[in-house]
Structure 1
């Protein structure tokens, strides 16, 4: 699923970006960790994520994101950056929690 280099990178990111869980717990949900780096990561961390995971994996994380994983600005940014939305179009609505 992940190369050893990619897994090592995620291990480094776990404590920094999923601070409310232990790194071991955070690594049980790699897509959530990837989304968190995409949403609030430093430029250096985002570039590392793109290099090691590939844009296809990042697009999959975005397509399957749960409500609350991305702020509106990040949601739009990644849709444009990954080519999922054309620059003259609006990105799709963010995932919403369903009550009831």
Structure 2
């Protein structure tokens, strides 16, 4: 997935807060990871800003291609419901380790 260069500023800023163990340059080289991290543990303002900038299609793409451990159960359920990928009674299973 290609994220427009316009989003570099927001992704750099969010990576400082949510991917603190990498430099912003390293984090932005994997924009999907930054987006997933904000979706998982972001505060309300950051999540809303990100969602408004990237749109639901990008959020769906990140969620459906997420890796094991990128989402906790609460965030997994919230985003599937919020993005219309599941209803409250039928959630897809989280990615598992084998």
Q: Distance in 2 between matches of 1:25 and 1:59?
A: 23
- Contact kept in structure 2, 1:5 and 1:52, CA below 8 Å: no
1:1-100 paired onto structure 2 within 5 Å: 1-87=2-88, 89-98=89-98
Q: Deviations over 1:19-47 (max 9, x none)?
A: 11111111111111100000110110000
Normalising by the residue count of structure 1, what TM-score does the alignment of the two structures yield? 0.90
Greater mean deviation of Cα atoms: 4-13 or 46-55: 4-13
Give 5+ residue unaligned stretches, structure 1: none
What is the root-mean-square deviation of aligned Cα atoms in Å? Answer: 1.2
Give 5+ residue unaligned stretches, structure 2: none
Q: Distance in 1 between matches of 2:67 and 2:3?
A: 21
How many residue pairs are counted as aligned between the two chains? 97
Normalising by the residue count of structure 2, what TM-score does the alignment of the two structures yield? 0.92
State the 1:5 CA deviation.
3.7
